[in-house]
Amino acid sequence: MEIMDGKYYHGTIESKGETIEVTLPTQEDLDGTLRYFNTINQWQAGSTYALNTIINEEVMKYFAGDASLDETVDSIQSRASLWISEQS
């Protein structure tokens, strides 16, 4: 609310040597955004989430001393390839 009330408003911003005019969100903007958020019934991470999980799991095994670097790389490549093929 303080942004809409102008507390943090300076009217312009500087970007790459240019002055850009800034407009404040209105109550209507906020209400529309909240209506949109309330229609969302499922939040899902992007497709990289599964790949990040694979990498993290295998890297943790390496850091714990349970796998060599070569084993870790091979395992990541194998699991990632399998996951990608399952997405097709």
pLDDT tens for residues 51-69?
Answer: 999 999 999 999 999 999 9
Query: d(Cα 51, Cα 84) in Å, to the nearest integer?
Result: 9
CB 1 within 8 A of CB 19: no
pLDDT tens for residues 5-44?
Answer: 767 766 778 888 888 887 777 889 889 999 998 888 766 6
Q: Is residue 73 over pLDDT 80? A: yes
| Structure-block tokens of residue 32 | 């529309």
pLDDT (0 to 100) of residue 37? 87
Helices (H), the chain: 27-39, 48-63, 69-87
Q: Which amino acid is at 75?
A: S
pLDDT (0 to 100) of residue 62? 92
The larger pLDDT score, comparing residue 48 to residue 86, is at 86
